[in-house]
Amino acid sequence: MATPPPTPRLILKPGTAWSDAWQQCLTVAPEAFRDDRVLNFWNAGWQADGRMLPATSPLDGTPIAGPPRLDAATAHQAVRASRDQHRAWRHTPLAERRARVTAALDALTEHRELLALLLVWEIGKPWRLAQADVDRAIDGVRWYVDGIEPMLEGRTPLDGPVSNIASWNYPMSVLVHAMLVQALAGNAVIAKTPTDGGITCLTLACALAAREGIPVTLVSGSGGELSDALVRSAEIGCVSFVGGRDTGAAVATAVTDVGKRHILEQEGLNTWGIWNYTDWDSLSAVIPKLFDYGKQRCTAYPRFVVQRSLFAEFLAAYLPAVRTIRTGHPLAVENADDPLPSLDFGPVINAAKAKELNDLVAEAIDRGAVPLHRGSLAGGHFLTGQDTSAYVPPVTLLSPPPSSPLHHAEPFGPIDTIVLVDTEAELLAAMNASNGALVATLSTDDPATYERLAPQIRAFKVGHNKPRSRGDRDELFGGFGASWRGAFVGGELLVRSVTNGPQGERLPGNFPAHHLTA
């Protein structure tokens, strides 16, 4: 038997070290960084306040900048200052707002690669996906800049600033994108840095926007301590939240108690159904793409619901595809002049999340789930001797038991679960296991079957034989059931969600008093 070739020794690509990225930040925006720490930005100034917490990169444990966590009293001061900025900015002519946002976009474009490199180090995105996150933010806001007039016709800014609390996985294409559109619409904007990562990238982006006179506020702190200021404060005009259902439920209670405008995007178990289907080559081709960023996306598909009689054909398409997935250190190369590797995903957000995922898998198997595929880190794309504690290889489980969280909840990691069904009723019940989702897909050869079953799937977007995504530009986005509360967004709806319209207007969304889809 032939001896396998030795694994090549990999190095960190020159110029991509954390120290290189940090020095670039100090050069590009010295006002926002001090020695080894980032600053908070409020009251139109950079503030060296807050208790610094240590942080490490999920890539390999390298120490990186941690968040300067504010106390509740300081957060209230920041909110009041933002309210004062809002009162001036809301009267700024649209032409000037557009010019300032455009200048900020030009600055973000100039420093695109630095922003992407920060995303690689802070949240573990492979280079291709990190660049895409930055590009989607810039291109998406430019679309609004070009077409904002009709969206604002007959509408005015809110009475107070928009408070943004978002998860760590898309700092640019979700959080910065939303902030700049909110400002374009006439609002001052506040953002809390995500607890688990992205603070340096966000700080640099906000520094570039603040230089152009856009009224941004960026603060760090625990959700529990800052919630009273960022969610309940009377000065806040709207709360925009992206995150899990537990935290989202608490935010929902706080905002609905006082009737505050809100946009709460929460998790759901997005499912992919297989029913009377034969195009296995197409399915096989899309499987690796579904593992982009280790399924750490709100529109990831962690659950396949498969017609039992098609299970053998499904496995024949699925298993070879999942075995091709590449993971490893996103900045590791064999030679200094090599391009950065093309990986499906790198680490999960941190070692604690990796342990949680591994424990969930072990518990599900112990309770009866069948492991169909278990990837390995051996032979992965890693630096010699590097810390791999935040890396989780792909895992596929058949029939997670009802007692396992993997049966009904989104794992937010590279874990697929498969449920077998025999009837259309079982198919729909399994696809609706989490009381609402953001996206779903039904693969079936018969268009009539799709048209009949798709409306019964409790997801905001349902694809036919192909995945759905959050979407860009004019595509609306929301969720059904417990996956979304408040106003829907996307296209014109994003602008409507952060502006006041005619008296008595009912915004599309999930509200306590009404549900409106368009």
Q: What percent of the chain has pLDDT over 70?
A: 97
Q: What is the pLDDT of residue 6?
A: 53
Q: How many Å from the N-terminal Cα to the C-terminal Cα in the chain? A: 64
Sign of the Cα pseudo-torsion (423, 428, 434, 435, in order): negative
Residues with Cβ within 8 Å of residue 350, at least 6 apart in sequence: 56, 58, 196, 197, 390
Helix (H) or strand (E) holding 105: helix 94-110
Average pLDDT over residues 236-257: 80
Where residue 1 falls among pLDDT bands split at 50, 70, 90?
very low
Q: What percent of the chain has pLDDT over 90?
A: 87
* Residue 267 pLDDT > 90: no
Token reading at 225: 């301590």
Q: What is the pLDDT of residue 473?
A: 77
- The CA distance from 412 to 299, in Å, is 10
Q: What is the pLDDT of residue 2?
A: 46
Average pLDDT over residues 260-273: 92
Q: Which of the 8 DSSP states describes residue 220?
A: B
- The CA distance from 221 to 218, in Å, is 10
Average pLDDT over residues 296-320: 97
- The CA distance from 158 to 160, in Å, is 5
Q: What is the pLDDT of residue 7?
A: 63
Which amino acid belongs to residue 178? A
Residues with Cβ within 8 Å of residue 21, at least 6 apart in sequence: 114, 117, 118, 121, 200
- The CA distance from 160 to 260, in Å, is 11
Average pLDDT over residues 263-290: 96
User: Which residues, listed in sequence order, are joined to residue 486 by a DSSP beta bridge?
Assistant: 263, 510
Tell me the pairing of strands 261-266 and 415-421.
Answer: unpaired
* Residue 509 pLDDT > 90: yes
Where residue 259 falls among pLDDT bands split at 50, 70, 90?
confident
- The CA distance from 39 to 292, in Å, is 32
Sign of the Cα pseudo-torsion (499, 500, 506, 510, in order): positive
Mean pLDDT of all residues belonging to the chain: 94
Token reading at 24: 């670039």
pLDDT single digits (tens) 373-423: 999 999 899 999 999 999 999 999 999 999 999 998 899 999 999 999 999
Q: Which of the 8 DSSP states describes residue 4?
A: P
pLDDT single digits (tens) 101-125: 999 999 999 999 999 999 999 999 9
pLDDT single digits (tens) 410-422: 999 999 999 999 9
pLDDT single digits (tens) 164-183: 999 999 999 999 999 999 99
pTM of the model: 0.95
Q: What is the pLDDT of residue 3?
A: 44
* Residue 207 pLDDT > 70: yes
* Residue 258 pLDDT > 80: no
